[in-house]
Amino acid sequence: MTTTETDSATTETPPAARVTEEELARKARRSELTSRWFWRILSYVAVLAIWEFALLDIFSFLRGSPLDPKLLPGPSEVVATFFEIWGEGTMPAAFQATLTRIAVGFGLSFLIGAMIGILMQSKWFEGFFKDAVLISLSAPGLIWVLITAIIFGNRPLGPTIAIILTTFALVTVNVSEGIRALPKDLIDMAKSFQVNVFKRNRQIVIPHLAPYLFTGLRFGFSIAWKVTVLTEVFSSSAGIGFEMRISAVLFDMSEFLTWILAFFFFALFLEKVVLEAIERRYFRWRQAVTAT
């Protein structure tokens, strides 16, 4: 058994040393995290300070401050307006309208994109869809927004189609890449152990595809989000984009910026809280892989 002992001695350090090592590593991680957050927050503070500072009256010797508060209100005013609008209750309604559009449009887009991704495993369908996917990936979303706005006006079909055209290809590319990379060795292993096809699909195929689907979901969603707001700016009577258009038309910059702020916070919330929580919860094994 001497060999076994040497083996464990090489792979494990004595318990006492390990505790301190772990603690040191944790401490280092924490300080790294703190400084990263510090710089991140500092960038916000810097931008807000410059913005507020540029509007101060001390520049009057230059014949007025470089920025006119009527055209560009300061951050403090924008925040005040934010709470004002929040109090009026128009914000949840606008978000609801926008999010419903995204849910319908991107939901359909995801299904269509995944289906095309599966179909593209066949040579014929690959030829059929290849250029469409390429065009969708490379064309600016604004093109589809304008075209659908002209064709459909403010009917709900417009944004839906614009979202599908701009995002389906992202899902398609990820799904077909995932299918191409199916772990044949694991599937063969499962077959040798006489694991039935349902269990194989549930425990090998789906978990393997999940990160690919998630990447498609994440990138697709970020584009769907932008495109939806754009369609609302051009041709809608509800939603965040619509509210932005109204404030722009009324030259109410404070309100306009407030909507941008709300949009920004919501996007940040989705990205940092919702999506990252999903990632942590379901893709813990990937962190385990990258950590070693």
Partner 1 sequence: MAEIRIKNLHKEFGVGDDKVVALEDVNLDISGHSFVSIVGPSGCGKSTLLNILTGIETPTNGTVEITSDGHVAAPGYVFQAARLLPWRTVTDNLLFVQEDRSEGTKERCQRYLEMVQLGDKGDKFPGELSGGMQQRVGIARAFSIEPDVLFMDEPFSHLDAITARALRRELHHMWDETKKMVVFVTHDVGEAVELSNRILVFAKGGRLEDDIQIDLPFPRDPADDEVAVAKAHVLRKFEELDLLAS
- 3 near partner 1, rule: CB under 8 A: yes
**Least distance to partner 1, CB of residue 284, Å:** 7
Rounded distance between C-alpha atoms, residue 145 and residue 45, angstroms:
34
Closest-CA residue to 172 (of 249, 120, 99): 120
Local structure of residue 55 (DSSP, 8 states): T
Q: What six digits make up the tokens of 9? A: 């001695």
Structure token digits, residue 150 = 């002209």
CB of 9 to partner 1, least distance (A): 10
Shortest distance, position 267 Cβ to partner 1, whole Å: 29
CB 216 within 8 A of CB 175: yes
Helical segments of 55-122, H only: 75-88, 90-119
Decide whether 2 or 34 has the Cβ nearer to partner 1: 2
Q: Least CB distance from residue 210 to partner 1, whole Å?
A: 8
Nearer to partner 1, 4 or 60 (CB): 4
Q: Does 6 bind partner 1 (CB under 8 A)?
A: yes
Q: CB 30 → partner 1: shortest distance, Å?
A: 21
- Of residues 21-80, those binding partner 1 (CB under 8 A): none
- Note whether 107 and 189 are within 8 A (CB): no
Question: Counting beta carbons within 10 angstroms of the beta carbon of residue 285, is it exposed (0 to 12), middle (13 to 18) or buried (19 or more)?
Answer: exposed
45 or 289: CB nearest partner 1: 289
According to CB under 8 A, which one of 195, 248, 261, 275 is a site residue for partner 1? 195
| Site for partner 1 contains 193 (CB under 8 A) | yes
Is 15 one of the binding residues for partner 1 (CB under 8 A)?
no
Stretches 64-72, 192-200, 222-230, 246-254: which one binds partner 1 (CB under 8 A)? 192-200
Cα 263 to chain centroid distance, Å, stands at: 13
Burial code (b: 16+ CB inside 10 Å, e: under 16) for 1-31 equals: eeeeeeeeeeeeeeeeeeeeeeeeeeeeeee
Give the residue among 219, 114, 109, 116 at the shortest CA–CA distance from 159. Answer: 109
Q: Closest approach of Cβ 181 to partner 1, in Å?
A: 13
Number of residues engaging partner 1 in binding (CB under 8 A): 30
CB closer to partner 1, 88 vs 185: 185
For the purposes of burial, counting CB atoms within 10 Å of the CB of 150, is it exposed (0-12), middle (13-18) or buried (19 or more)? exposed
Q: Is 13 in the site for partner 1 (CB under 8 A)?
A: no
Among 45, 58, 62, 288, binds partner 1 (CB under 8 A): 288
Give the nearest distance from C-beta 10 to partner 1 in angstroms. Answer: 7
Quick one: which of 262, 250, 254 has its CA closest to 69? 254
The contact set with partner 1 (CB under 8 A) reads: 1, 3-4, 6-8, 10-11, 185-186, 188-190, 192-193, 195, 199, 203-204, 207-208, 210, 284-286, 288-292
